[in-house]
Amino acid sequence: MRVGFIGLGIMGSAMAMNLYKRGFLYAVYNRTRSKAAPFESLNVKVAENPKELAELSDVVITMVTDGPDTEQVLFGKNGVSESAKKGLTVIDMGTNSPAFARSFAERLEKLGMDFLDAPVTGGDVGARQGTLTIMVGGKKEVFERVRPVFEAMGKLIVYAGPVGYGQRMKLVNQVAVALSDIAMVEAMMMAEKLGLDMEKVYQVLSTGGARSFSIENYMPRLLKGDLEPGFRISHLRKDLWYALEEAKSEGVPLPATSMAFELFLSSENLGYGEKGIQALIKLYERISGVELK
């Protein structure tokens, strides 16, 4: 299978590189062409637009920021759909709403193309190491056909159900991610105020009942003053909005998630939207008057 990859950001570039190492990657496209330079040096075709990439590929993967961005790549001028390539499999691996996924699938099916929604979790570390968890929605037979492509990028591949269920699974995951990040930040701020040795706090939190991905991966970054993104605050805020909308449509109250959305939105408004989700601590420093040393 010749795979074309669209979206070479923090996650996408690492995922595409793992596809290259496994012999799948044939072409790439990124709006900012300079990000494709590492692949061009490996003799991977750099397409001029998504349409050209689709014409060169059997499978097209999109990994862009949001639903409207994905829609533009698929259905805009020189988009994937303009290739009119019957039998093409389109896989959206960004995090969007289930409603977007169902719309994309319906529109592509009319053109003779298959669609899977397959968002991922595991952060920049998982993307680089090829150990992502991938949650897939769509037709089971299409999923099985392209499973080797997923296995080149992830360690745990979960078939979640029909179209939209990959996104539903991811939104559930993001609720847990957001709340665990808040728990980590609040614990750190309390420990700082109480005068505890933060390295010892980390030892306790990373091995005991409080252990979480956030503590194991983001707390060490905070202890070094590293706010750079493995996963951006603006992206998590967007995901939480989708989660709240989906929960509302099903009548599921999510009071803590509503609070989390407001906290990450406030952090974004303070100018930390492009920083990693661990930068939430800057909001807490401001409202508490305590600075992490």
Active site members: 170
Closest CA to 215 of 250, 184, 252, 244: 184
Residue 265 amino acid letter: L
Three-state DSSP class for 280?
helix
Strand partners, 89: 59, 114
Instruction: Please report the DSSP string for 8-66 in residue order.
Output: -SHHHHHHHHHHHHTT-EEEEE-SSGGGGHHHHTTT-EE-SSHHHHHHH-SEEEE--SS
Distance CA 169, CA 134 (A): 10
The DSSP symbol for 111 reads T
